[in-house]
Amino acid sequence: MPEDPIDQQPAAPAQSAPPTAPPPPPAARYAPPYGYAAPYPAYQPAARPRRSAWFWISILGGSIAVIALLITFMVWSVTRSLTGENAAGIDGFKVGSRIGVVDLSGTILDADKVNTQIRKLAEDSSVKAIILHINSPGGGAAASQEIFNEVVRVRHEKNKQIVASVESVGASGAYYIASGCDRIYANDASVVGSIGVIMEWTNYGDLYKWAKLKSVVIHAGTLKDAGDPTRDPTPEEQKYFQSLVDNMYGQFVHDVAVGRHTTDDRIRPLATGQVWTGEQALKLGLIDKIGGYRVALIDTARSVGINGEPGIVHPPSQRKGLLASLTDDTDELIHAPSHVLDQAPGFYFMWK
């Protein structure tokens, strides 16, 4: 069959695709007529104003002032609470009733220190009673008597109880002081008593002879050089010193008798200079109760109306710092040999 002439017409050549137009530049993409919104610009923080030097100086100065004020307040609060002079707490509420405690230990030579502590506690209205915590063999006669008198004065003038609690030793001058208290507590094995007087000095006459030295003394009055440590005392001097010792002994006996609410005649047989245990002393009427510091504390608290665990306040101790110790007179740290040759006769309420 013959092909249709129409079918035999040559095919039209293929038309190539029109060339693609290049993309518009970025700026033109968002320009009309497209109408797209431009993106947000990158965030640029606003420039802060520069602080002046005086601003920083004021900030630093204020911070230092606040810190100094806080430290000062803390030190003031602690100091006031330790000295017993602070009757109000930080929150403004009044501090509760407390028991003051004064430690009396070692050889008694400085009456002023102990008496100052007793007075501070006596003047504190929050302190309802005072305990003398004693562990001492006694000491100077005059110093012991001075503390005894202060204890008696505070008891009567301030109307405050003062109680003695003997730890291991409460002898001679220490017992003298304890006898002025309202009550005396001691442990069964505590050492109590030693009512008596002793006078002593060092005689270095033989040392003078060995060193070929001679003491030269010019005096007016027969007994002016009594107790000269370079020679033995004369019979008259011995009698003189014995009269002084006897007089102090009588004062000791009488004050103990008054403090223990008894008579001199009852105390004198016990005033032999010997000591007794707490158990023995209770039977002799030299103490009031067997018990240690804790027993004395609780009993005293209850007697002044304090229930529960009593608050305790100690007077501040005056301790020297390292710098003060190093700058002190060296004779106080290391006694010079000359001090051995410079000792006057001393009178002591001392148990040895």
Continuous segment of H or E residues that includes residue 247: helix 235-259
| DSSP labels, 34-48 | S-PPPPPPPP-PPPP
Give the integer Cα–Cα distance in Å for 345 and 141: 12
What does the block give as tokens for 278?
Answer: 């707490």
Short-list 260, 246, 248, CA closest to 152 = 260
| DSSP labels, 141-172 | HHHHHHHHHHHHHHHHHS--EEEEEEEEEEET
Please indicate whether residue 224 is annotated as part of the active site. yes
Residues in the chain: 352
Cβ partners under 8 Å of residue 190, min gap 6:
166, 167, 168, 169, 170, 277, 278, 281
From the candidates 136, 144, 165, 172, give the one annotated as an active-site residue: 172
From the candidates 63, 94, 209, 224, give the one annotated as an active-site residue: 224
Please indicate whether residue 52 is annotated as part of the active site. no
The catalytic residues are 172, 224
